[in-house]
A = this chain, B = another copy of it.
């Protein structure tokens, strides 16, 4: 295991647990405490965690939470799982919309083998990821770049979307309360709404942590989506609530779908 891999792994541990001791990390990765200290210093330098006496804890200010570098890491395993499953909903030859979220972005990696394929996105991560994949028709949505979301937004984006039509769209939102999705940014909301309009089938991908939270702007009701994909970790209460409202919910297990409500 190389240093960089170990550091990534440390972040993964932190993302899960929120906090970890030097002792524990040292044992877990089979390296000295000194090495763990050096890793933590490095990661702290990069602004990814905060060292505390005895270990480290994850940065978690509100400002930090909405930073995409943070968001792209949290719940990585759940996101990968959702992404992997979502990719099975796509057939070769289709066109797919992917929004600016890191959750939807996780699909990109799994789409590389489904060719030919058209991918439409305003997500810079996805663009970088898929540019140069042979057999991949990559359509970028322009717009002004937002560092916070690592994507493109605005009238230009919206107009470009209006002239396009896709088979499937994969979106995410930062919060799900009751049977509606919410997002903290008006501009992002605009684009997501247009994406839904421009696609035949629509799926909302949200990790279980998003349930029961709210955000400033109403995005849309969940009934707008063909299905909501989330991790099996989601509480039965939330699952039932959606089921009662007639919203299709797919709880994705590590191996397969758990339940089709």
Give the B-binding residues of A (Cβ under 8 A).
122, 124, 127-128, 130-132, 134, 137-145, 147, 150, 152, 154-157, 159-160, 163-164
Give chain B nearest CB distance to A10 CB in angstroms.
24
Asked whether, in the complex, the Cβ of B131 is within 8 Å of the Cβ of A140, the reply is: no
Verify B132–A139 contact, CB threshold 8 A: no
How many copies make up the complex? 2
What are the residues of chain B within 8 A of A147 when measuring CB–CB?
Answer: 131-132, 134
CA distance A61 to B131 in the complex (A): 23
Summarize A's interface: helix, strand, loop or mixed.
mixed
Q: Contact between B131 and A139 (Cβ–Cβ < 8 Å)? A: no
Q: Are B145 and A131 in contact (CB under 8 A)?
A: yes
| Residues of B contacting A122 in the complex (Cβ-Cβ under 8 angstroms) | 142
When distances are taken between beta carbons in the complex, the residues of chain B under 8 Å from A134 are 147
Beta-carbon nearest neighbor of A124 in chain B: B131
A143 to B138, CA, bound (A): 8
Q: A137-B145, A139-B142 are in contact. List 11 more A-B contacts (CB 8 A).
A: A124-B127, A131-B145, A131-B150, A140-B140, A140-B145, A141-B142, A142-B156, A142-B160, A156-B160, A159-B159, A159-B160
CB–CB B152/A144 < 8 A: no
Q: How far is the CB of A78 from chain B (nearest CB, A)?
A: 27
Distance between Cα atoms of A10 and B250 in the complex (Å): 54
Do B139 and A127 have beta carbons less than 8 Å apart? Answer: no
In the complex, A152→B134 CA distance in Å? 16
Give Cα distance in the complex from A134 to B164, angstroms: 31
A94 to chain B, nearest CB (A): 16
